[in-house]
Amino acid sequence: MISELNETIASLVALQRATAAHSGERAWLDAHLPAYRARLRDDPVTALLVRVGLMGSWNADFLTPTPPGEGGPSFADEVARIRETPPDEARAHMTTSMGGPLPSALDRSDLPSRAADLMEWVWEEAVRPYWPRRRRLLEADILARTRQLGEVGWAAAFDDMRPGMRWLGDGRLRINMHDYPPQVISGALLLFVPVTPDTAWVSWEEPHRYAVVYPCAGVLANGDRSGGPEALGRLLGPARAGVLTLLASPKSTTQLVALTGQGLGSVGRHLKILLEAGLVTRRRTGRSVLYYRTPAGDTLVSASRR
């Protein structure tokens, strides 16, 4: 499922780490990191809250609430759950995250409201302006993994979802390599929540709901909008060359729209021309139609890179 709050939490972690996973994220960090650092410089309590609650080996649970399973919750609804956390519960979660007694600066009752205020700031300043494109990327990731699940099973769909995660068979899913007692979740709701920054975590509200938050597939998150090799762009036009270049592996029109930033109509016209030229082909998988290059298309792309 897609969660605006989880995308915001992942973006907050990316801002705090300040290291880019790809060129697109580098540009985003350059645009928003100065304001983020200035905000925390003026609010040292919240700065310490982030370092202790989100940057250790164990998140403070109240900072990463498990999404409700029904529908697509709004950011306002989800962040309200952080703000409404009882202060004693928030301090207990922070103590667990720190692995010891809290510093005196965090022994206070306003941690939930400070955290919610920061989440709202990150959403408005650094996530919401990009949300339409990010949402398309997340939808494309869900579509691609659903296709994997239908074609080759659980192992292929989950094994590259996040480091250490692996389908073990017999109804067993290893989430990570941490030494933690197994959880029996038979009958519970297990949610998979993609985010575009390169970060991951697990949350739960026992015994009914669990969530695995994982980074969107790299080819989607990178969002390379280049027109492909320059020579190919001169031959086909940059936009059409970009579509052909991306079809080294099967993709739906939804994924191509997300990756290229072009409209659905434009992508459809490019695909029609590439199909007629014999450079791509297509096949149906469930409700989706996937496009990919033919040998002729592979040859053309390879030749243009020489």
Question: What's the whole-number mean pLDDT along residues 81-109?
Answer: 95
Predicted confidence band of residue 148 (pLDDT cuts 50, 70, 90): low
Quote the pLDDT of residue 219: 46
Q: Is the dihedral of CA 171, 173, 178, 183 positive or negative?
A: negative
Q: At what angle do helices 23-41 and 111-122 cross, to 10 degrees?
A: 140
What backbone torsions phi and psi does residue 204 show, to the nearest 5 degrees?
-160, 155
- CA–CA separation, 18 vs 159, rounded Å? 27
Q: Is the dihedral of CA 48, 54, 56, 59 positive or negative?
A: positive
Question: What's the whole-number mean pLDDT along residues 111-127?
Answer: 98
DSSP 131-160: HHHHHHHHHHHHHHHHHHHHHH-HHHHHHT
CA distance to 44, 224, 245, 277, 300, per residue, from 306 (Å): 54, 20, 14, 22, 10
Residue of higher predicted confidence among 194 and 174: 194
Quote the pLDDT of residue 177: 66
Quote the pLDDT of residue 273: 95
Q: Is the pLDDT of residue 162 over 90?
A: no
Predicted confidence band of residue 228 (pLDDT cuts 50, 70, 90): low
SS3 (DSSP) at 268: helix
Q: Tokens 């139609």: give the residue.
A: 289
Quote the pLDDT of residue 226: 47
Side-chain half-sphere CA neighbours of 275 within 13 A: 11
Q: Locate 258 and state its tokens.
A: 């997300």
Q: Is the pLDDT of residue 210 over 80?
A: yes
Contact 81, 65 (CB under 8 A): yes
| Amino acid in position 33 | L
